A and B are shown apart, each in its own frame.
Chain A
Amino acid sequence: MIKNKLKLGVAAVSIAGLLLNAPSASAATFPAKGKTITIIVPYDAGGGGDIGARMLAPYFKAAIGATNVEIVNKPGAGSQVGISALAAAAPDGYTIGFTHLPATITTYLDPTRAATYNLSKLTPLSMMVVVPTMLVVRGESKYTSLKDLLADAAAGSKVTISDSGILSDGHLATLQLQQQSGAKLQAVHSTGGAATTADVLGGQVSAGTLNVGGATNELVKSGKLRIIAMFSKTKDKTFPTAKTAKEQGYPIYCSTSRAISGPAGMSNTVVNKISTALRSAMANPEFMAKANAAGLYIQFMWPNQLQAYWLDMQTATIPLMALKNS
Chain B
Amino acid sequence: MKRAENITASIFMVLGIFVIKGAMSLIYMTDIGPGPGFFPLWLGVLLLFLGLILILQNTFSKKKVAVIDSEPTEPMWPGIGGAIRVGIVIFSLLAVSFFITYIGFRVSMFLLVFSLLYTLGRQKILMTLAISLSGSFGVYFIFTHFLSVELPVASVHWLSVVGL
Contacts and interface: CB of A to CB of B under 8 A. Distances in A.
Direct contact between A and B in the complex (CB less than 8 angstroms)?
yes
Interface in B126-150: 148-150
Q: How large is the interface on A (under 10, 10 to 19, 20 to 34, 35 or more residues)?
A: 10 to 19
A4 B150 contact: yes
A186 interface: yes
B132 to A, nearest CB: 23
B155 A9 contact: yes
Interface of A: 1-6, 8-9, 12, 186, 325-326
Nearest to A326: B31
B30 A325 contact: yes
23 contacts: A1-B148, A1-B150, A2-B148, A2-B149, A2-B150, A3-B150, A4-B150, A5-B150, A6-B101, A6-B152, A6-B155, A8-B101, A8-B102, A8-B155, A9-B101, A9-B152, A9-B153, A9-B155, A12-B155, A186-B32, A325-B27, A325-B30, A326-B31
Contacts of B153: 9
A4 B149 CA distance: 9
Contacts of A186: 32
Contacts of B32: 186
Contacts, number: 23
B148 to A, nearest CB: 5
Contacts of A6: 101, 152, 155
A6 B136 CA distance: 19
Nearest to B156: A12
Contacts of B102: 8
A175 to B, nearest CB: 15
Please give me the 7 A-B residue pairs with the lowest Cβ-Cβ distance, nearest first: A8-B101, A1-B148, A6-B101, A12-B155, A9-B155, A6-B152, A3-B150
A216 to B, nearest CB: 27
Contacts of A325: 27, 30
Nearest to B154: A9
Interface string B89-115: 000000000000110000000000000
Contacts of B27: 325
Contacts of A3: 150
Contacts of B152: 6, 9
A279 to B, nearest CB: 31
A170 B148 CA distance: 37
Contacts of A12: 155
B106 to A, nearest CB: 14
The residue among A1, A5, A6, A8 with the most chain B CB atoms within 10 A of its own CB is A6
B30 to A, nearest CB: 6
The residue among B27, B31, B32 with the most chain A CB atoms within 10 A of its own CB is B32
Contacts of A4: 150
Given A6-B155, A8-B101, A326-B31, 13 more contacts: A1-B148, A3-B150, A4-B150, A5-B150, A6-B101, A8-B155, A9-B101, A9-B153, A9-B155, A12-B155, A186-B32, A325-B27, A325-B30
A39 to B, nearest CB: 16
Contacts of A326: 31
A299 B108 CA distance: 47
Contacts of A2: 148-150
A286 to B, nearest CB: 25
A9 B152 CA distance: 9
Nearest to B30: A325
